[in-house]
Amino acid sequence: MANPYPTKLRVCAVRAYEAGTASYREVARQFAVGEATLQRWVRRQRATGAVDPLAKAGGWTSPVDTALLRQVVDEQPDRTTDELTRAYNQRAPVAARVHRSSILRALQRLGYVFNKNGRGRSTSIVPRSKPNGPRSAPGLRP
């Protein structure tokens, strides 16, 4: 979803229309907004006295219990994601069991990365490290 138009633009557009010198179409074209958008702003201004954007709503929340996931990872960080998902689901309530992809997304949000061991062992899950220095510009080499 795109970000809302700034309040200052909304106020200026509504004032221009309320001045009564131009139609919805002309004012909308002048401020580079849709005609229906301007009509909604004017309607909201008349009804509530404000044209501030409404708060964003909805969205998705993760069903993964992060405290439990951290505990499972800390116990044995060299588990595969399938093993980690099984261990998590054994401890979670039946209604809160999740799929492997949910565990992967939760691990990324928590800052974990998968490190491969050079000696042929399986991967381990470790916290993401901070970068040592600033990133260089693309295409430039010393």
Using the predicted structure, report yes or no on whether residue 107 has a pLDDT greater than 80: yes
Using the predicted structure, report yes or no on whether residue 52 has a pLDDT greater than 60: yes
Other beta carbons less than 10 A from residue 122's beta carbon: 11
Burial of 105 (0-12, 13-18, 19+ CB in 10 A): middle
22-45 tens-digit pLDDT = 999 999 999 999 999 999 999 999
Using the predicted structure, report yes or no on whether residue 67 has a pLDDT greater than 90: yes
Closest by Cα among 90, 70, 93 to 82: 90
pTM of the model: 0.49
Helix, strand and coil in the chain, % to nearest 5 = 50, 5, 45
Side-chain-side CA neighbours of residue 96 (13 Å) = 13
pLDDT of residue 58: 80
